[in-house]
């Protein structure tokens, strides 16, 4: 017959010990969060925040594909620590020759957000272009849909040559493929 045996382990202290001097991390976070000013009281309603202004785009009226090679030109010299010139100001290169964009970018107006949420993969980025007056802001929409949403910045719009939305941006080799989507067509197809 097998009998269960219990083992009692004792612990020993080897060397000197000191009480923990650091404050509890959660208490630190809660304490600092309590000190953050009320953003609305400090800066007014979000719709007036300049940081919450997205770039404006027209509405895609036709399905269209086009490509962009996102060349970048250095605006200053790049030097090594010892001062030796690595790349001179004016040097142009394609960043996609060195890195890849594993996710797609969905650039949409707030009115097309539901379509983007249904179509995008979890790793894809959704960028919101400026919407109509009365549309919820990106923070509110992100909280409502439990998904990180980003604002389309003017520099991204310019760099990609964006004029309309929705558009899906995906990497193909060393270029970006921009697929403009006429939502009126996709809505009609879905209704059938």
- pLDDT reading at 2 higher than 60: no
- Predicted pLDDT at 86: 92
| Residue 1 binned pLDDT confidence (cut-offs 50, 70, 90) | very low
Q: Is the pLDDT of residue 14 over 50?
A: yes
Taking 60 as the threshold, does the pLDDT of residue 124 lie above it? yes
Average pLDDT of the residues in 21-46: 80
Could you tell me if 104 and 125 are in contact, meaning their C-beta atoms sit under 8 angstroms apart? yes
Residue pLDDT, tens place only, 155-192: 999 999 999 989 999 999 999 999 999 988 766 555 44
Rg of the chain over all Cα atoms, to the nearest angstrom: 26
Q: pTM value?
A: 0.70
Q: How far apart are alpha carbons 148 and 55 in whole angstroms?
A: 18
The rounded distance, in Å, linking the Cα atoms of 117 and 9 is 55
Higher pLDDT: 18 or 113? It is 113
Q: Pick the more confident residue, 36 or 80.
A: 80
> 2-6, 50-54, 88-92, 151-155: lowest mean pLDDT where?
2-6
Question: Beta strand 167-172 with 72-73: parallel, antiparallel or unpaired?
Answer: unpaired
- Both tokens of 61, joined, read 């009226």
């Amino acid at each position: 017959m097998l009998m269960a045996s219990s083992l009692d382990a004792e612990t020993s202290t080897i060397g000197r010990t000191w009480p923990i001097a650091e404050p509890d991390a959660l208490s630190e976070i809660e304490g600092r969060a309590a000190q953050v000013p009320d953003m609305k009281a400090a800066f007014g309603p979000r719709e007036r925040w300049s940081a919450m202004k997205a770039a404006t785009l027209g509405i895609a009226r036709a399905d269209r594909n086009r490509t962009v090679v996102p060349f970048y030109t250095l605006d200053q010299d790049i030097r090594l620590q010892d001062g030796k010139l690595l790349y001179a100001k004016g040097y142009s290169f394609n960043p996609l020759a060195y890195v890849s964009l594993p996710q797609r970018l969905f650039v949409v107006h707030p009115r097309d957000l539901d379509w983007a949420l249904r179509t995008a993969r979890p790793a894809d980025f959704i960028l919101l272009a400026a919407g109509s007056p009365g549309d919820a802001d990106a923070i509110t929409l992100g909280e409502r849909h439990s998904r990180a949403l980003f604002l389309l910045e003017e520099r991204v719009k310019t760099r990609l040559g964006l004029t309309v939305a929705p558009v899906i941006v995906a990497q193909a080799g060393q270029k970006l493929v921009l697929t403009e989507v006429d939502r009126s067509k996709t809505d009609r197809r879905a209704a059938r």
